[in-house]
Amino acid sequence: MGLFTEQGFKATTIRGIATAAGVSPGLVQHHFGTKEELRQACDEYVLGYMREQAGLGVTGRNLEKPEFIENVHRTAPPLMKYLGRALVDGSPGAAAMFAELVNVTEEHLAGDENPEADHRARAVVLTAMKLGITVLHEHVSRALGSDVYAAPAALRVGKAQLDLFRPEFLGRELFEQARKGLAKVEGER
Amino acid sequence: MGLFTEQGFKATTIRGIATAAGVSPGLVQHHFGTKEELRQACDEYVLGYMREQAGLGVTGRNLEKPEFIENVHRTAPPLMKYLGRALVDGSPGAAAMFAELVNVTEEHLAGDENPEADHRARAVVLTAMKLGITVLHEHVSRALGSDVYAAPAALRVGKAQLDLFRPEFLGRELFEQARKGLAKVEGER
DNA sequence: TGGCTTCCAATACAAGCGTATAAATCGTAG
DNA sequence: CTACGATTTATACGCTTGTATTGGAAGCCA
């Protein structure tokens, strides 16, 4: 997954993967079959993880538990980077995930707004822009001078997003929650 | 450039380029040397075009002339798509362009705001999100049901962006100008 | 312990890659 | 008309790629 993330699917070789894993190329083939099947396995792992964590966060009411947040912040970044690369690498699974995210966002938006607004377009643009930071994380990090997925830069990016967007679209209460969360993290540093 | 855009640098072959151009592979080599030099030539063409058009638009006061707008809307999309791909394909030129865009945006933001705000982070996030739509144009188009670079979908995306962002960050006057421009285009349809 | 499946590595192979080289064709100035 | 430089093609070479195949090592169950 690391090599797919850094180099893309086509530029990554099975031999490179095997070397990085400290095994023989034949073993990779034995476990995953073809290179395309290996990509699918990676996709399923990442998308499964994200759906799982999202489920745990929302339905499990874990969003405020510090250990849950901490765990996500430690494990999620490489998977987010993988998703970002997969989105531009023509991965079918990533395309499906994008569509899912749009639908979730659209439902959220449709709740408290005038019915004539183009919620669909807003949801699409919102998720594309949110994922844009992930996809371009390398450039964002360079422009900021430090890794976006490390605490300091992530804080700056989060606050900047809160500043740039109209508060209505997060939902007033969610917006305030996010603001408090960021302030709390900032206080701990 | 079309092949680089659609398949990425590594997956694109010189033989494929030659076939698409209706010439022999050797000719491509004769004109551009190596594959890497060909990429640089593409980068320079695209970045040169964008800097040129941006200069014409801003300093030449062409931003309101319909023929200028129309010309940009007809020629820019494939180049934007190329830039989007180059940004995640590790192109040095594209990285430089991203840094430039951030700097321009930062200067714009620094003008009319309280000095304690993190203009740098806001500029980075703003350009990353704006380019995010370009990079993910394929997914955006699919979610919207029509090509983002065709008039109807572009209109929806433009309006959605205007809705989502706080007006202050475009500058009040620029915001109103954009709103009027979109309304005008909408009226013509 | 014997036999079987699973795991892993080594080798082989055909295809495709970037690129070097040489030959052929073309346009044109003298 | 000719000769020369610029274009364009054809061919070839070395390398890497994904994958098929083979064979041995390790684990497991009766």
Tell the burial category of B67 from Cβ atoms under 10 Å away from its Cβ (0-12, 13-18, 19+). Answer: exposed
B162: left (phi over 0), alpha (psi -120 to 50) or beta: alpha
Residue A21, token pair as written in the block: 């894993």
Interchain proximity B160–A118, CB inside 8 Å: yes
What distance in Å separates residue A22's CA from the closest CA in chain B?
25
Position A175 scores a pLDDT of 61
Contacts of B88 (CB under 8 A, 6+ apart): A84, A85, A88, A135, A136, B135
CATH number of the domain encompassing residue A91: 1.10.357.10
What distance in Å separates residue B111's CA from the closest CA in chain A?
16
**What is the CA A11 to C1' D21 distance in angstroms?**
26
Position B115 scores a pLDDT of 75
**What is the CA A76 to C1' C4 distance in angstroms?**
42
B12: nt with nearest C1' to CA:
C17
Which range of residues forms the domain containing residue B94?
A: 35-135
**DSSP result, B83-151:** HHHHHHTT-HHHHHHHHHHHHHHHHHHHTTS-TTS-HHHHHHHHHHHHHHHHHTHHHHHHHHTS-TTSH
Residue A162 falls inside a structural domain:
no
Position B173 scores a pLDDT of 60
pLDDT at A181 > cutoff 80? no
pLDDT tens digits, residue range B126-172?
A: 999 999 999 999 999 999 999 999 989 999 999 999 999 988 776 66
Best mutation target among A124, A127, A161 (most B Cβ atoms within 10 Å) is A124
- Across the range B98-124, mean pLDDT stands at 88
Out of A62-66, A111-115, B29-33, B176-180, the most confident range is B29-33
Tell the burial category of A187 from Cβ atoms under 10 Å away from its Cβ (0-12, 13-18, 19+). Answer: exposed
Contact B25, B15 (CB under 8 A): yes
Residue A86 falls inside a structural domain:
yes
Contact B161, A125 (CB under 8 A): yes
Position B63 scores a pLDDT of 79
Query: B86-125: buried (b, 16+ CB within 10 Å) or exposed (e) per residue?
Result: bbbbbbebbbebbeebbeebbebbeeeeeeeebbbbbbbb
Interchain proximity B121–A128, CB inside 8 Å: no
Residue A59 falls inside a structural domain:
yes
Tell the burial category of B66 from Cβ atoms under 10 Å away from its Cβ (0-12, 13-18, 19+). Answer: exposed
Residue A122 falls inside a structural domain:
yes
Closest CA to B111 of B97, B122, B100: B122
Closest CA to B157 of B123, B130, B184: B130
What distance in Å separates residue A164's CA from the closest CA in chain B?
6
Domains of chain A: total? 1
- Across the range B106-129, mean pLDDT stands at 88
Residue B9 falls inside a structural domain:
no
Distance CA B142, CA B161 (A): 18
Residue B16 falls inside a structural domain:
no
The alpha helices in chain A, defined as continuous H runs, are 2-7, 14-21, 25-32, 35-58, 66-88, 92-111, 119-135, 137-144, 151-164, 172-188
pLDDT tens digits, residue range A127-157?
A: 999 999 999 999 999 999 999 999 899 999 9
Position A127 scores a pLDDT of 96
Contact B105, B131 (CB under 8 A): no
Position B66 scores a pLDDT of 82
Nucleotides of C under 7 A from a protein CB: 7-11, 16-22
Q: How far is CA A187 from CA A83, A155, B8, B116, in A?
A: 31, 11, 43, 18
Interchain proximity B128–A118, CB inside 8 Å: no
Residue A166 falls inside a structural domain:
no
pLDDT tens digits, residue range B41-97?
A: 999 999 999 999 988 888 888 877 888 888 888 899 999 999 999 999 989 889 999
Residue A63 falls inside a structural domain:
yes
Contact A95, A22 (CB under 8 A): no
Contact A94, A86 (CB under 8 A): yes
Q: Count of CB contacts below 8 A, A vs B? A: 142
